[in-house]
Amino acid sequence: MENKPSITVGGLQFNWDLDKGKFQFEGQDSVLFWTSTAMKMFFDSVEEISGEEAAGVVLETTGFRQGMVVGDYFADKKDVDVATAAGLITNTYASAGWGLAEIRELNTEEGTLEVHLSNSWEHEINVAQGKKVGGNFLPAHYAGIFTKLLGRNIWYKVVHHQIEGFDETRIQYFPSEENVEKNIHRLARSKEAEQISKLENLVEEKTAELSELIKEISSPIIPVLEDIVVVPLLGTYDENRAEELLVKTLQNLPTHKAKYLVLDLTGLTNKFTEHAASLIDKLGATASLIGTTTILVGISPQMSMVIAESGINLSKFNCFQTLQHGIHYALAQNGRSII
């Protein structure tokens, strides 16, 4: 058995060195893969890991840059013009199993041409994958080739793919500002926008959950003694939170049959707002309509200044420094005391 066989196909040399396990195509180390099985698995894995959109950009970018390498090789040959190079490339690719390619309507001055592909390896992989639309590796590959051969940036438009039911894939090429780098940046921006949108949705969801939790646990109504309930005001109150507390308190006061509502202001932050001052006024006024007397405890000097500046008159309420004093006062009004 010959260990270093060789064969010429279409004017191109194929060599094997079985002792070293090497295969060469036109003097360059090469390798063979089954398109509909091994290469299909490779493409499937890329799409599974990176997503179909990102995989498309990866293959397009790879195809274009590989094409530029091929174009560079022929562009450096002084005795080979663009039309001749195009013929050599299509013959080389046919011999290597890349499919049948035909260059049509080549206009080197305008930088335009058409490429017609049939039975390409990319088409065979797409068929094995069960796809309905062809890939963009080879269309971008020829764009890379002619970008180098024509000395200007060439891009493409796929008129139709063979996999769509046509006899061949038809691709138009033309000068353009479009390139693979822009596509990479566009994909990156798209992914960033997608991630930002996901984060915004997550923030909205968590904010809604937190708001519900705050509604449940903030400013509870605490019955401390018969006829006396305490509502501790906690944190900072904006218009919405103040309204929620007002409704919640007034709905629950009748349940406790409270004669005295003690509002504990000790837990309010230094950001005491006019909303909080207005809330106290509304709570007291509305509670009095159902026969409940409001007592304020824990007013700090800072709160006093905000209340004064707001113009809200809280002098109608009995005010005490501590919660203990407020509860003692409420008990005394009923002739009771804590012994």
The model's pLDDT over 307-333, given as tens digits with 9 standing for 90+, comes to 788 777 778 889 998 999 999 998 888
* CA distances for 171 relative to 53, 121, 140, angstroms: 21, 16, 10
Q: What is the mean pLDDT of residues 255-260?
A: 88
Find tokens 């796809």 and name the residue.
Answer: 131
Nearest-angstrom CA–CA distance, 129 and 4: 36
pLDDT band, very low/low/confident/very high, at 276 (cuts 50, 70, 90): confident
pLDDT band, very low/low/confident/very high, at 111 (cuts 50, 70, 90): very high
Q: Does residue 168 sit in helix, strand or coil?
A: coil
Nearest-angstrom CA–CA distance, 250 and 283: 8
Nearest-angstrom CA–CA distance, 153 and 143: 8
What ranges do the domains of the chain cover?
A: 1-32, 33-178, 219-332
The answer to which of 32-41, 145-154, 221-230, 242-251 has the lowest mean pLDDT is: 242-251
Region of 291 please: left (phi>0), alpha (psi -120 to 50) or beta. left
The domains spanning 33-178 and 219-332 adopt the same CATH topology = no
In sequence order, which residues have a C-beta less than 8 Å from that of residue 49 and are 6 or more positions away?
A: none
**Spelled out in words, what is the top-level CATH class assigned to the domain 219-332?**
alpha beta
Two structure tokens written together for 163 = 């996999």
Two structure tokens written together for 90 = 């299509």
Query: Per DSSP, what are the bridge partners of residue 261?
Result: 229, 294
Q: What is the pLDDT of residue 192?
A: 67
What are 163-218's pLDDT values in tens digits?
A: 999 999 999 999 988 777 776 777 567 666 677 777 777 778 877 777 666 665 56
* DSSP assigned state of 257: T
* CA distances for 281 relative to 66, 140, 232, 240, 285, angstroms: 76, 72, 15, 16, 6
Nearest-angstrom CA–CA distance, 265 and 279: 12
Length of the chain: 339
Two structure tokens written together for 186 = 């566009």
Q: What is the mean pLDDT of residues 78-82?
A: 88
Two structure tokens written together for 302 = 């800072």
338 vs 21, residue with greater confidence: 21
Amino acid, single-letter form, for residue 7: I
Nearest-angstrom CA–CA distance, 267 and 225: 21
- The H or E element containing residue 9 is strand 6-9
pLDDT band, very low/low/confident/very high, at 40 (cuts 50, 70, 90): very high
Q: Does residue 334 sit in helix, strand or coil?
A: coil
- HSE-up of 112 (CA within 13 Å, CB side)? 4
Tally: H helices and E strands in the chain: 10, 13
Q: What is the mean pLDDT of residues 256-273?
A: 82
The CATH number of the structural domain formed by 33-178 is 3.30.1380.20
Cα four-point dihedral sign 84, 87, 90, 93 = negative
